[in-house]
Amino acid sequence: MRGRLNEAATALEGTQVIFRQEPSHTGDNHFGSRLVFDRDGNLFVTVGDRFDLRDQAQNPANLLGKIIHLAPDGRPAPDNPYLHQEGTRPEIWSIGHRNVQGAALNPATGELWTAEHGARGGDEINIPRKGRNYGWPVITYGVDYSGAKIGEGTAKAGMEQPIYYWDPSIAPSGMAFYTADKFPAWRGSILVGALAGQLVARLEMDGEKVTHEERILHELGERIRDVRQGPDGFVYLLTDADPGRVLRLRPAS
């Protein structure tokens, strides 16, 4: 839904639904639902496989388990890969996703990067590129919650590999690229919150390769739902305990 804040910044006006995931489903899991604007003003939307319908993540005729790319009015973005392909949804950017709960633009390249839940193991960092297939549930580094194998293995021709994965799972949520100067040693890192892991993972990068992982704040014992770099250069975290909290990280003095 889109709308405008009124002059008092107390309410939304002129609200309009511009996108709905289809088909509708009554399940309670795997909504995805991260929103990221690209540099052209178009909108990436992550949509989950809804858990019970995971095989549909491979079906380009629906909007389950996909990255969606929209113009601001809800129409398919003009550079989408399936605009004129029969039997596919033109809103789709990439397919084969399970439940993307972290997403951010790489400030160096402008590309979308995502953090995606696996099942038991197999959480992934991906760079979802136009028209590509990220494998779920055909390939994964995780197993089912029962311990059973999922799909065909960890690799298959025509399906993309993650640039990084966690096994065992940390349940990654919000993510951000750190570019400010308040934490000089963190510049160029990716910060990823974790739900089950109850921590923040800091990933040091060399281009598209993760070279080191540092895990911090596990002593809080709280699920980290989102991570953002503030305009002041500090890092802000959102927890979803009861009650939830917004936390600000500052360097130790």
| The token pair that represents 182 in the structure block | 């308040």
Closest Cα partner for 97 from 155, 50, 144?
A: 50
Closest Cα partner for 72 from 112, 45, 103, 100?
A: 45
Q: Which residue has the tokens 């511009």?
A: 18
CB environment 140-164: b (16+ within 10 A), e (fewer):
bbbbeeeeeebbeeeeeeebbebbb
Q: Hey, how many other C-beta atoms are within 10 angstroms of the C-beta on 21?
A: 19
Q: Which residues contact 242 (CB under 8 A, 6 or more apart)?
A: none
Residues labelled as active-site residues:
30
Q: Which residue has the tokens 């113009």?
A: 71
Residue type, 92: I
